[in-house]
């Protein structure tokens, strides 16, 4: 039994050594053009936000068409997460965690929607539609006015209600968010 296990371990070790040697013998470095569709991360301070813009008004249409089926009309929640409301409840006995009550950075909303929503077709929204639906969700949460328009300059300036509700890890303390 013990003997068999040792043989199995040796086989696994041999396999991993040979495959790491082989790893250098095929493939090539991806070109910047090939990496572009994957290089979509947006940082808390807005670094990485693409060119483009979107209004609350247009975001309402984008939401109705692409999001309301799961998140409910006006983001009040449906078969999936509620996205609106809950501000001021986090320290209560019945905390309601939403984008508006919990998330510290508005830029993360853009990043998340752009990479992950709509759930069944991630990456399908255009940059402009993503700015628009981000603006609409922030408007529903009372964070942006009805006539707001977001782009790579204005989005990082949005101050989220729970911005200071987190204790950052020391390595992230240097990140500042324009107010």
Sorted by sequence, the CB contacts under 8 Å of residue 25 that are 6+ apart come out as none
The 35-54 contact track toward ligand HEC, x by CB under 6 A, reads: --------------------
User: For residues 80-109, which are near ligand HEC according to CB under 6 A?
Assistant: 80-81, 83, 98-99, 109
Q: CB nearer to ligand HEC: give 29 or 120.
A: 120
Rg of the chain in Å (alpha carbons): 22
Copy the structure tokens of residue 172: 């992230």
Read off the tokens for 125: 């929204």
Cβ proximity to ligand HEC, 13 vs 123, nearer residue: 123
Residues in contact with 51: Cβ distance below 8 Å, sequence separation at least 6, in sequence order = 127, 151, 152
Instruction: Decide: is 112 part of the binding site for ligand HEC (CB under 6 A).
Output: yes
Cα 78 off chain centre by: 20
66 lies in the binding site for ligand HEC (CB under 6 A): yes
114 sits near ligand HEC (criterion: CB under 6 A): no
State the residues that interact with ligand HEC by CB under 6 A.
66-67, 69-71, 80-81, 83, 98-99, 109, 112-113, 117-120, 125, 133
């Amino acid at each position: 039994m013990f003997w068999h296990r040792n043989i199995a371990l040796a086989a696994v070790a041999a396999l991993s050594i040979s495959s790491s040697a082989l790893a250098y013998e095929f493939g090539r470095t991806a070109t910047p053009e090939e990496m572009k569709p994957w290089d979509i991360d947006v940082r808390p301070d807005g670094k990485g936000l693409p060119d483009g813009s979107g209004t609350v008004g247009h975001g309402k249409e984008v939401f109705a068409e692409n999001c309301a089926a799961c998140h409910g009309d006006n983001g009040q929640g449906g078969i999936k997460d509620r996205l609106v409301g809950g501000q001021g409840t986090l320290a209560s006995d019945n905390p309601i965690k939403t984008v508006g009550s919990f998330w510290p950075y508005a830029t993360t909303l853009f990043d998340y929607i752009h990479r992950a929503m709509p759930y069944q077709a991630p990456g399908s929204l255009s940059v402009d539609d993503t700015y628009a639906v981000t603006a609409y969700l922030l408007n529903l949460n009372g964070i942006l006015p009805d006539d707001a328009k977001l782009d790579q300059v204005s989005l990082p300036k949005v101050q989220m209600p729970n911005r200071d509700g987190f204790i950052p890890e020391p390595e992230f303390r240097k990140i500042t968010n324009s107010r």
